[in-house]
Structure 1
Amino acid sequence: MERAEEAGPHGQLNLLMVGQLASLTRMARVFVYGTLKKGQPNHSFMTSCTNGIAEFQGRGRTADLYPLVIGSKHNIPYLLNVPGKGHHVTGEIYSVDDQMLQFLDEFEGCPDMYQRTPVRIEILEWEGKSSAPEERPAVNGIMECFVYSTTTYPPEWINLPYHDNYDSFGKHGLCYNPRENR
């Protein structure tokens, strides 16, 4: 990463991370609904600098209905790409840089297990920092975010119970089995 140096008002040296600023201008919005959310087993991947930059922006839910199921012997949450069926699924919105987006593609097994697709998300809460007030989305407004959903699932999964807000430790009793335990 390049560093540009400039003197501050009192002669002290300020360091400007040029590479980091450049990557901030190419941020993509990603909606996470499962184990990557805060308080869930894989959230640490979103906060690890080695994977790239992920900045929490707020909470939202899918504008369209989708079936969110817990499938496989490892109790993995899957958003089935069947719009119009299921629930409005609640999750978190992040701005991510290219490095984090690549990491998430690999982590989610994209394109074989999950596919990264743009989905309309309704804003429930917004904490994101923006330099201009007009860039702040309105609560209940709609924005497009990438979502990892799947079209490659066993046909019987469409008949599993649908969830609107995934929690690995929820009442469903289907605790997620982390990769390191498999």
Structure 2
Amino acid sequence: MTRVFVYGTLKKGQPNDSIMLDPTIGTVKFLARARTVDPYPLVIATGDNIPFMLNKPNNGQRVGGEIYEVDDEMLQFLDRFEDCPEMYQRTLVQLEIEEWVGEDEDKPKTGDVIESFVYTTTTYQPEWLQYPTYENYDTDGDHGLKYVCRDKRGQDVQ
């Protein structure tokens, strides 16, 4: 099992959260809510308003999200879903636990720091560094940049 930190459309209540809940894709266990130890730029970009965590540590804000434990099948699916390694790269980051809900015997406490993979990108337009950064992504946030979900043919999905 591998720990994966999600900060965007895969979080609970966001447009792609059903992926993390689909047992036909692979095994997933929600472990915790956490925040990156180092600040990163979390921006919303492209015409589809996709959240990107740019792999530029010590810029932006400490990014909040959720930690999951996933099996190899789900990890391979997430790599394809995130177009890894072309669009996103799986990067190890340090996370500060805000609330642990996993059922581990040695469960971390609030404030503990653990390591997890996160999908970041080093492939972005230079102007993205000038975009507003966010510490927490919500498609319905007051930024007004609602995520546009498209199928493989480029058609909007409702």
**Do these two structures clear the TM 0.5 threshold for a shared fold by scoring above it?**
yes
Q: Does 1:55 align with 2:36?
A: no
Q: Does 1:31 align with 2:5?
A: yes
User: Which residue in the other structure is 2:122 paired with?
Assistant: 151
**Which of 1 and 2 has higher RCO (CA within 8 Å, sep 6+)?**
2
Identical-residue share of aligned pairs (%): 57
List structure 1 runs of 4+ shifted beyond 6 angstroms: none
Q: CA offsets, 1:100-140, max 9 Å, x none?
A: 0000000000000000010000000000012x2xx211210
User: Which residue in the other structure is 1:137 paired with?
Assistant: 108
> 1:175: Cα distance to partner?
0.1
Q: Which amino acid aligns with 1:140?
A: G
The CA RMSD measured in Å over matched residues stands at: 0.8
SS in 1 for 2:24: helix
Residues in 2 aligned to 1:51 and 1:156: alpha-carbon distance in whole angstroms: 36
In structure 2, stretches of 5+ residues that fail to align are none
User: Which residue in the other structure is 2:133 paired with?
Assistant: 162
Q: Does 1:71 align with 2:42?
A: no
Q: 1:171 aligns with which of 117, 121, 142?
A: 142
> 1:51: Cα distance to partner?
1.2
Residues in 1 aligned to 2:143 and 2:81: alpha-carbon distance in whole angstroms: 25
> 1:179: Cα distance to partner?
2.2
User: Which residue in the other structure is 1:85 paired with?
Assistant: 59
Structure with greater helix percent? 1
In structure 1, stretches of 5+ residues that fail to align are 1-26
Give the total of aligned pairs: 153
Larger Rg: 1
Residues in 2 aligned to 1:100 and 1:44: alpha-carbon distance in whole angstroms: 13
User: Which residue in the other structure is 1:9 paired with?
Assistant: none
SS in 1 for 2:67: strand
Residues in 1 aligned to 2:18 and 2:40: alpha-carbon distance in whole angstroms: 26
Q: Which amino acid aligns with 2:78?
A: L
Q: Which amino acid aligns with 2:45?
A: G
Residues in 1 aligned to 2:21 and 2:77: alpha-carbon distance in whole angstroms: 12
